[in-house]
């Protein structure tokens, strides 16, 4: 399940038990629309611990071809190291954003950092 919230120039996305193809499509649409609206945007993305193999399949299919990625200035990634590595591998070639990693127990610290 994927939940998306917006507060000013910050997009918050929270995924429980990974993301399926529909979640990824919804996420890419939300990020694209957010970056279209803000020239200096931030993104907080949290993925809960994944307990099934569905996430593994989606990880290998994720592509972040999002227009206006130069508008993305900060990304806070919250979750497992494995998920963070996969996400970064897909995002880095397309973005110059400052990406910072946080363990699940540090999500409040991540929110503070992204809101600075």
pLDDT band at 44 (very low <50, low <70, confident <90, very high): very high
Could you tell me the residue ranges of all domains in the chain? 2-114
Among 104, 91, 100, 109, smallest CA distance to 14 is for 104
pLDDT band at 57 (very low <50, low <70, confident <90, very high): very low
Contact 15, 30 (CB under 8 A): no
49 vs 82, residue with greater confidence: 82
Which residues make beta-bridge pairs with 10? 7, 42
CA–CA dist 114, 96 (Å, integer): 16
User: 76-111 pLDDT, tens per residue?
Assistant: 999 888 777 777 776 665 568 898 999 999 999 999
Is pLDDT of 29 > 50?
A: yes
CATH assignment of 2-114, among 3.30.43, 1.10.287, 3.40.50, 1.10.10: 3.40.50
90 vs 62, residue with greater confidence: 90
- What's the predicted TM-score (pTM) here? 0.82
Strands across the sheet containing 98-102: 2-7, 10-15, 41-47, 72-78, 98-102
Q: How many residues does the chain have?
A: 116
């Amino acid at each position: 399940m994927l939940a998306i919230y917006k507060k000013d120039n910050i997009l918050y996305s929270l995924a429980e038990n990974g993301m399926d193809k529909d979640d990824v499509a919804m996420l890419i649409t939300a990020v694209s629309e957010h970056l279209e609206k803000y020239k200096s945007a931030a993104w907080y993305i949290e993925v809960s611990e994944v307990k099934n193999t569905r996430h593994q399949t989606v990880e290998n299919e994720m592509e972040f071809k999002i227009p206006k990625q130069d508008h993305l200035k900060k990304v806070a990634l919250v979750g497992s190291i494995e998920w963070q590595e996969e996400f970064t591998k897909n995002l880095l070639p397309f973005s110059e954003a400052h990406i910072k990693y946080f363990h699940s127990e540090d999500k409040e610290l991540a929110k503070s950092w992204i809101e600075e």
